């Protein structure tokens, strides 16, 4: 048994740095590379891609990445665990196997974890008594059933551990939790029991700290002036020990900062009740975490306690709920803000004249530089000589939203003076995909691990 295992995360979301995982493989001295590609809305984007082409529906960036790093990972014995499979993990697996063959690699075991996708079994599950009530609003699913685009249960570390035990060195999953990707190697390497809740809670919190990539190594940090060389920021590495303690660090000679402050900020990120951070594997208690700075860029985390997992799994359902469009104009010169306000007023008046109106909550007007992010907070700027008007509308009726999108450009010539910056054409109506969180009994989900050897 290893005394310590180094697990890195090279991707916080689909769209994160292309080079970060490459640098971790090169300079991180790591045993495992995890990659978290999935956010709530990502599943529905992938589902739409799959509807257009049944071979798609996964994070395509992952294939390019595999091509870049797989030979070096094989050479250095670095295992890769990614929830890049999205809503089509098998297609993703086929593509990476194709890539491995193209690279001339041999003797590698690939694994895919399936079973989280319940889109096609939703009605059957409802017949079995699953209510899929909205966790936030308590509404019944029947209200949105015919608009559902994707439905996935969050699954935990167990099937990934199974894949590791079967000898896989590249593991692709669907909607595995972000934290399971980091914790599975610890369970496997240290042979932790799935009932050892304190250790599982440690692994979960380690995963939570690194799941957003550079957000624990100096990115998005309040005291940004104190962070050296963000351009060269190192992505995070967990140095895990068998007793559940771990160290948060980053590759040597990389930029960024790992301190109690940067780690604390990330611990608080997207936190709900700190007493019960619920995952499929364990309920972790954030109120038991102890942090200490071991040395420069090394924070030691100890003392974490956990409780048994809940009898339910969380389900991420996405559904289509109307359309939206947003456009921008730049207004300059004297009285810039007053002119921007007139522009917005003109848009709504011209639409009203042809019988198109939006309810107040379906309209949005922002003046970028004045009130966009912190309305009512801090001092409003005095006389400003340029401002960006950002104007948007949404509705169930797509044609209304498209018509709105055509009413912005004319302001350049038919509004007040100094209006410019209408780039990118007319904004078109795009689908609004809404998130419907629900719970279901965990025994109704069966995960399946498939191994393929090249």
Partner 1 sequence: MTKIKVGSIAHSRSGDKGAGSNVGVIAYDKKSYEILDKTLTPEAVKKHFSKICFGSVEKYCVPNLLALNFILNDSLGGGGSASLKTDAQGKTHGQAILLMEIEIEIDE
Q: Does 376 bind partner 1 (CB under 8 A)?
A: yes
- Which of 193, 222, 295, 413 binds partner 1 (CB under 8 A)? It is 222
| Residue pointed to by tokens 């922002």 | 366
Beta carbon of residue 200, minimum distance to partner 1 (angstroms, whole number): 19
Question: 290 vs 349, which CB is nearer to partner 1?
Answer: 290
Question: 165 vs 223, which CB is nearer to partner 1?
Answer: 223
Question: 222 vs 413, which CB is nearer to partner 1?
Answer: 222
d(CA 351, CA 403): 8
Please tell me the count of residues contacting partner 1 according to CB under 8 A. 51
Q: Does 346 bind partner 1 (CB under 8 A)?
A: no
Q: Does 394 bind partner 1 (CB under 8 A)?
A: yes
Token pair belonging to 360: 């107040």
Element spanning 76, H or E: helix 61-76
Token pair belonging to 217: 């190594």
User: What contacts 24+ positions apart, CB below 8 Å, involve 125-131?
Assistant: 125/440, 125/444, 128/444, 130/440, 130/441, 130/444, 131/438
Q: Does 286 bind partner 1 (CB under 8 A)?
A: yes
Token pair belonging to 198: 């304190």
Q: Which of positions 124-163 make contact with partner 1 (CB under 8 A)?
A: 136
Q: Does 378 bind partner 1 (CB under 8 A)?
A: yes
Q: Does 41 bind partner 1 (CB under 8 A)?
A: yes
- Which of 261, 335, 386, 402 binds partner 1 (CB under 8 A)? It is 261
Q: Does 393 bind partner 1 (CB under 8 A)?
A: yes
Give the DSSP per-residue string, 94-155. HHHHHHHHHTT--S-EEEEEE--B-GGGHHHHHHTT-----TTT---GGGTGGGEEEEEE-B
3-state secondary structure of 386: strand
Question: 340 vs 433, which CB is nearer to partner 1?
Answer: 433
- Which of 324, 339, 400, 403 binds partner 1 (CB under 8 A)? It is 324
Beta carbon of residue 13, minimum distance to partner 1 (angstroms, whole number): 11
Tell me the per-residue interface mask from 172 to 211 with partner 1, x by CB under 8 A, - otherwise: ----------------------------------------
Beta carbon of residue 40, minimum distance to partner 1 (angstroms, whole number): 7
- Which of 406, 435, 450, 452 binds partner 1 (CB under 8 A)? It is 435
Which burial class, exposed, middle or buried, applies to 76 when counting CB atoms under 10 A from its CB (0-12, 13-18, 19+)? middle
Beta carbon of residue 8, minimum distance to partner 1 (angstroms, whole number): 21
Q: Does 290 bind partner 1 (CB under 8 A)?
A: yes
Token pair belonging to 244: 């559940």
Q: Does 293 bind partner 1 (CB under 8 A)?
A: no
Instruction: Identify the DSSP state of 176.
Output: B
Give the interface segment with partner 1, choosing from 144-152, 162-170, 432-440, 444-452 (CB under 8 A). 432-440
Q: Does 40 bind partner 1 (CB under 8 A)?
A: yes
d(CA 328, CA 420): 10
282 near 308, Cβ under 8 Å? yes
Beta carbon of residue 103, minimum distance to partner 1 (angstroms, whole number): 37
Token pair belonging to 65: 């990445």
Q: Does 1 bind partner 1 (CB under 8 A)?
A: no
d(CA 417, CA 332): 8
Count Cβ atoms below 10 Å from residue 15 Cβ, excluding itself: 12
Q: Does 273 bind partner 1 (CB under 8 A)?
A: yes
Token pair belonging to 210: 């690194």
Provide the β-strand partners of residue 431: 323
Q: Determine if residue 208 is left, alpha or beta; phi over 0 gives left, psi from -120 to 50 gives alpha, anything else beta.
A: alpha
d(CA 204, CA 74): 27
Q: Does 423 bind partner 1 (CB under 8 A)?
A: no
Give the interface segment with partner 1, choosing from 111-119, 173-181, 192-200, 391-399 (CB under 8 A). 391-399
Contact positions vs partner 1 (CB under 8 A) = 40-41, 136, 215, 220-223, 261, 264-275, 286-291, 321, 324, 326, 363-364, 366, 368, 372-378, 390, 392-394, 431-435, 437
């Amino acid at each position: 048994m290893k005394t310590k295992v180094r697990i890195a995360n090279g991707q916080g979301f689909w769209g994160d740095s292309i080079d970060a995982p490459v640098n971790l493989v090169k300079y991180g001295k790591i045993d495992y590379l995890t990659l978290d590609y999935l956010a709530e809305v990502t599943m529905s984007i992938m589902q739409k891609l799959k509807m257009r082409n049944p071979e798609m529906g996964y994070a395509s960036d992952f294939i390019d990445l595999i091509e870049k790093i797989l030979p070096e990972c094989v050479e250095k014995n670095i295992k890769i665990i990614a929830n890049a499979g999205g809503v089509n993990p098998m297609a993703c697996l086929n593509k990476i196997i194709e890539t491995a063959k193209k690279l001339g690699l041999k003797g590698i075991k690939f694994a895919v974890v399936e079973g989280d996708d319940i889109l096609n079994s939703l009605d059957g599950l409802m017949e079995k008594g699953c209510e899929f009530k909205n966790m936030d609003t308590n509404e019944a699913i029947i209200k949105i059933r015919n608009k559902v685009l994707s439905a996935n249960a969050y699954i935990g570390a167990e099937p990934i551990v199974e894949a590791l035990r079967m000898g896989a060195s590249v593991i692709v999953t669907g909607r595995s939790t972000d934290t399971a990707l980091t914790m599975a190697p610890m369970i496997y390497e240290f042979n932790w029991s799935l009932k050892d809740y304190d250790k599982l809670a440690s692994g979960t919190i380690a995963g939570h700290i690194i799941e957003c990539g550079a957000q624990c190594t100096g990115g998005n940090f309040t005291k940004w002036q104190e962070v050296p060389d963000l351009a060269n920021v190192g992505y995070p590495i967990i140095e895990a020990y068998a007793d559940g303690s771990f160290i948060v660090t980053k590759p040597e000679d990389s930029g960024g900062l790992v301190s109690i402050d940067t780690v604390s900020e990330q611990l608080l990120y997207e936190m709900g009740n700190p007493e019960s951070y619920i995952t499929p594997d364990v309920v972790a208690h954030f109120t038991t975490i102890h942090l200490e700075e071991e040395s420069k860029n090394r924070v030691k985390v100890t003392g974490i306690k956990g409780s048994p997992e809940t009898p339910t799994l969380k389900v991420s359902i996405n559904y289509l709920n109307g359309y939206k469009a947003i456009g921008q104009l730049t207004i300059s010169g004297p009285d810039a803000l007053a002119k921007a306000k007139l522009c917005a007023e003109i848009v709504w008046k011209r639409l009203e004249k042809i019988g198109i109106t939006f309810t107040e909550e379906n309209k949005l007007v922002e003046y970028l530089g004045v009130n966009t992010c912190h309305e009512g907070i801090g001092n409003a700027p005095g006389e400003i000589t340029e401002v960006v008007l950002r104007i948007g509308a949404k509705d169930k009726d797509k044609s209304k939203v498209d018509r709105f999108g055509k009413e912005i450009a004319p302001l350049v010539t038919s509004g007040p003076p100094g209006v410019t910056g209408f780039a990118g054409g007319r904004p078109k109506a795009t689908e609004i995909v809404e998130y419907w969180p629900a719970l279901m009994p965990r025994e109704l989900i069966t995960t399946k691990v498939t191994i393929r050897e090249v």
